[in-house]
Structure 1
């Protein structure tokens, strides 16, 4: 029987609207959200929409090819503040909800981001990047020509590096500017800088009485050598800073209770380094006594789902109930994320979990209901109303035209046993136009992290490979989130060990249980840690006929000094850094096994990847080419580690086309 719909293409993600950041109106009558799309000029645009719950009527509030985001309603609902780059860099704009043009309220040289209202609506708190001698009262936005000239002049000067953390994949090379917290008086139209330390300050919340602002950061002199992140308050009047946490962990997502007596937050004390599960804490503001509500749980708090079409951020919790007797948050568990509730005695309740991806939510204290964002493997995103009686009703119909056109493959969940008896979860997609009795080529996908999770969300790359005629298998080997602390910690100091055999067991299971897979046409691909594992696989088995390694690690010896995280990540994940044991790091390095590679390998790497720098791909390519192996190297100009998720759209399409080309050639 012929398919009535067409197969998905590499270009199709350009047709998607991606929703994020739902925010209830103060009276609970509707909510705002952000919709991100791809523009005709090879970039992304984000627009703010509002939907009335009584009529389900959608109203678009912003237009154009700009990035408009972070809408936040004033407590009386009469205004909304948001950030927009329409003037050149992100600035804050104020819009009356009954109509009219938006008014620009900041003209900071380096922009202003992440606005929030005080509880009385008189002030707006935001973050701005400032030099130590900047005056917030005289900030002037540069023109396009001035910014261009400054960049050109900067590019003529050498970069003088004195800090260990001098670069990041997200921002490139750092300068001396630090993110500071600013208070804007709405009526007086004046600015007050609340923080001044030579450190980054991450705004968290403002106390209900407006006297203190809660932020996260590390204000220690040795901050660049530490991996801790504490919570602090700064008094709005005196500017006095008070440290709330103990300096032994990493804490974030903090919010005051409605009375201001307590603070809820996520965090951990790095008992398992970067593989430590988040805990949910309550801090008594007066006594400073801290209580852990999640001590008996064994799953990750927050959203750790991996996808390639999620753009924009959303609230994942913890969020206080109206009576401050409960907290709400998103949790990551067994390939899905859901909305959870906990009371102050630590009693956990699932409010919504339906084997899909809850990517964000907003809570209305008037009706005690939620708007939740949900993605499934065959539907990129929609919003739903979850009322106080747990009734679920759909609010939006995103991407209708796209979904009417294309055939998407529904994944089949599998569970197989690893060599040591551990249960491993995965998903299998059948190819477009599947016919019984035919044999199909196969591709194993391996996620990055490694402490992340594949699961029940929309994944364009998986669907594309299925559309191209491949059986696609993706799994969560040990090291993945979603299966408890022991599981997520189990790959540390064992890269290429049981995590590798978990993946090989997945292939064995698929071949044993699905007769339509052609065992002579197996492919493998993955990015970041998945790229490392692809490199490791081709150096340890010849069962795959083609491999594509993306933004990978090939040599842990050099990774230590070139990655923006190498100096601590190497120790965290392998148990050694370069100065501890070079022999051990070399044994963990796929480059060591280059002579054993017989699988044709395509290496994809971004030129400006500072997480897994391009020299990692270069070393592997040169070694394999020198050995006269079948290898090809594709370098993506201007691309960071995030190429596959938020890179320039045309580069993302090129990447997907190269993957498909390689597998078509060899499978």
Structure 2
């Protein structure tokens, strides 16, 4: 056996992503999604895998071929599996019988079909589809116009980084009969409807929608009960915030949901709310719990990770959920009074969870800094790991040397405690000095933590120490902490990061203070730009999908006009404040060689932000290079075309190699 080596950028093609576990209703088996990359086509392929919970056999692959298969959902009787596949060229719902045989296509809709939700009696499936105003699911597919036509824009929310320019379609809800294929459309009009769950008695669907007529200025979503027979909507929230993820208790007495009232705009902690069906009372169960509900971990490897949901107990006296705290996401339980306890803890990232109520066991998807992510069988009643179910990358990683990060805590600005992690380079030798790279996350309201980070491991393999920190603005510490960056971009958040660099230089003698690098994307790109305009201590920097000018960002980003007001806390009329917080204003101070990486179709932080920065630096004779990635958006580093993801990593490696 050859000696272990560090991981390389091209190894992305060898790695397998495991996600979205789903327990069978009897708790005896499970399915999940495995995503790989086809080198020949340079495309992602996602397939369903199956195994019995107690089996020592390798999981069985259930779908094959090109395309993506995802969103598996067991029928309540456990006899059939519904899933979504793009094999026909458009996402449609398919059915697999547990008795065997080929998958059967259930929907054939022009707008596609996603998000399958079974009826309690297993005879129907509700789903989301996309339709233009006035169009129905029974209309024939419109012929595509071959001529190039102008795009008429009348709304501010006319583009999205993930979907491009709005095509005039709205998300609607429909039902299909599993045996006959008969369809029924339940919603219509010029609003988006999000499907969550089916009531235990089969009468209602829990759905979400923003029914305000002008959604340019609305950032809410209410929860409604949609009566299937009459199609009548009954609101169970009252327009005070954003609510989602509704889950009925098994006896139909309660609906638990995720929600926040946006007191701190997009920095507000997500909480759990409880609606009592009989009394129609809505209350916030976690109002006094200063922890955000959900998975807010930053990652750059996993594919197809769905939003976490709430899982009720069989006795209807409480539920399980995932929450984010101090660099970890773990499993928690709450009773109906709001008494919360952590039922599965550890320094790791729980990014998927499926619970079997009768046995209080779970299949959990868990990642760690030196574990890409796999499935585990867990007992929730005694907080015990029963067994590891998958080891998707075990054979490959047995030949790879990964760096185990060390957790650090230091005093940031104003004496606030700040958490971070330091990775030693692969092949570390005591007494030797190594360059350090500071990594800064995006959001800014996300969290670095105990999960596998492919980019960090690649940099460690290149001989760099890697420092990553959760400055104020990060989730996982407190509502005050996550809100503190708003109105203070480039202030104490910058100081937190610099205090972190000072801390490791003072406490780790293997770091060469004359060879420091810095990089980050989105907010991390903004902060990289800000850093090189305010200090010359870094000898090289790489800014990715960044913000450089808040004045122009206001009008060109898909979220610009409201995100700017939420985060910088001022309007376009206040040019002075917007310019004060813009890295472009300090470009004449930049002495650090700066590599600028940006995607052509990034609508979140449009490429003009990079263009301005590049031209300003070149005009002043600064050392810089601008790399534009064709046809990619803001998600290049996480889910972009594999070849370009590898190219991006190589540009970062080579820039630091040249300058550090």
TM-score, with normalisation over the residues of structure 1? 0.97
Look up the match of 1:51. 51
Shift of 1:316: 1.9
Seen in structure 2, the aligned counterparts of structure 1 residues 315 and 501 have a Cα distance that, compared at 3 Å, is closer
In 2, Cα distance between the equivalents of 1:610 and 1:138?
Answer: 32
In 2, Cα distance between the equivalents of 1:368 and 1:440?
Answer: 48
1:305–1:454 contact (8 Å) kept in structure 2: yes
In 2, Cα distance between the equivalents of 1:88 and 1:217?
Answer: 28
| 1:231-380 correspondence to structure 2 within 5 Å | 231-314=223-306, 316-380=308-372
Is 1:23 matched up with 2:15? no
Is 1:214 matched up with 2:213? no
Once the two structures are superposed, residues 523-574 of structure 1 have per-residue CA deviations (whole angstroms, 9 ceiling, x without a partner) of 0000000000000000000000000000000000000000011111001111
Three-state SS of the structure 2 residue aligned to 1:301 is coil
Is 1:482 matched up with 2:483? no
Question: Which of 443, 449, 457 is residue 449 of structure 1 equivalent to?
Answer: 443
Shift of 1:76: 1.2
Shift of 1:389: 2.9
Look up the match of 2:609. 616
| 1:133-144 correspondence to structure 2 within 5 Å | 133-139=134-140
In 1, Cα distance between the equivalents of 2:559 and 2:263?
Answer: 19
Once the two structures are superposed, residues 211-266 of structure 1 have per-residue CA deviations (whole angstroms, 9 ceiling, x without a partner) of 11111120111223111111112111111112211111011111111122211011
In 1, Cα distance between the equivalents of 2:248 and 2:271?
Answer: 17
Question: Which of 548, 555, 564 is residue 561 of structure 1 equivalent to?
Answer: 555
In 1, Cα distance between the equivalents of 2:607 and 2:402?
Answer: 34
Three-state SS of the structure 2 residue aligned to 1:405 is coil
Three-state SS of the structure 2 residue aligned to 1:524 is strand
In 2, Cα distance between the equivalents of 1:245 and 1:152?
Answer: 45
1:605–1:634 contact (8 Å) kept in structure 2: yes
Three-state SS of the structure 2 residue aligned to 1:329 is strand
2:33–2:70 contact (8 Å) kept in structure 1: yes
Seen in structure 2, the aligned counterparts of structure 1 residues 502 and 3 have a Cα distance that, compared at 3 Å, is farther
**Higher mean Cα deviation, 282-291 or 530-539?**
282-291
In 2, Cα distance between the equivalents of 1:537 and 1:630?
Answer: 16
| 1:172-211 correspondence to structure 2 within 5 Å | 172-211=164-203
1:424–1:502 contact (8 Å) kept in structure 2: yes
Gapped regions of structure 1 (runs ≥ 5): none
RMSD value, Cα: 1.3
**Higher mean Cα deviation, 98-107 or 610-619?**
98-107
Look up the match of 1:37. 36
In 2, Cα distance between the equivalents of 1:152 and 1:405?
Answer: 51
Shift of 1:152: 4.3
Look up the match of 1:597. 590
In 2, Cα distance between the equivalents of 1:487 and 1:351?
Answer: 25
1:3–1:433 contact (8 Å) kept in structure 2: no
Once the two structures are superposed, residues 423-473 of structure 1 have per-residue CA deviations (whole angstroms, 9 ceiling, x without a partner) of 110000101111011111110000000000000000000000000000100
Shift of 1:327: 1.0
Shift of 1:138: 4.7
In 1, Cα distance between the equivalents of 2:314 and 2:105?
Answer: 33
Look up the match of 1:94. 95
In 2, Cα distance between the equivalents of 1:490 and 1:560?
Answer: 21
1:205–1:255 contact (8 Å) kept in structure 2: yes
In 2, Cα distance between the equivalents of 1:188 and 1:51?
Answer: 30
1:197–1:219 contact (8 Å) kept in structure 2: no
Shift of 1:198: 0.9
Look up the match of 1:170. 162
Seen in structure 2, the aligned counterparts of structure 1 residues 261 and 197 have a Cα distance that, compared at 3 Å, is farther
Shift of 1:135: 3.0
Shift of 1:42: 1.1
Look up the match of 1:625. 618
Shift of 1:313: 2.4
In 2, Cα distance between the equivalents of 1:151 and 1:366?
Answer: 54
Shift of 1:520: 0.6
**Higher mean Cα deviation, 198-207 or 47-56?**
47-56
Gapped regions of structure 2 (runs ≥ 5): none
1:303–1:359 contact (8 Å) kept in structure 2: yes
In 2, Cα distance between the equivalents of 1:224 and 1:261?
Answer: 36
**Higher mean Cα deviation, 264-273 or 129-138?**
129-138
TM-score, with normalisation over the residues of structure 2? 0.98
Three-state SS of the structure 2 residue aligned to 1:338 is strand
2:221–2:243 contact (8 Å) kept in structure 1: yes
1:200–1:217 contact (8 Å) kept in structure 2: yes
Once the two structures are superposed, residues 352-407 of structure 1 have per-residue CA deviations (whole angstroms, 9 ceiling, x without a partner) of 11111000100101212111110001011111111233321211112012211110
Shift of 1:66: 1.4
In 1, Cα distance between the equivalents of 2:2 and 2:268?
Answer: 46
Look up the match of 1:548. 542
Question: Which of 632, 642, 645 is residue 638 of structure 2 equivalent to?
Answer: 645
Look up the match of 1:127. 128
In 1, Cα distance between the equivalents of 2:344 and 2:12?
Answer: 28
Provide the aligned length of Structure 1 versus Structure 2. Answer: 656
1:315–1:362 contact (8 Å) kept in structure 2: no
Once the two structures are superposed, residues 455-492 of structure 1 have per-residue CA deviations (whole angstroms, 9 ceiling, x without a partner) of 00000000000000001000000000000101000111
Shift of 1:4: 2.9
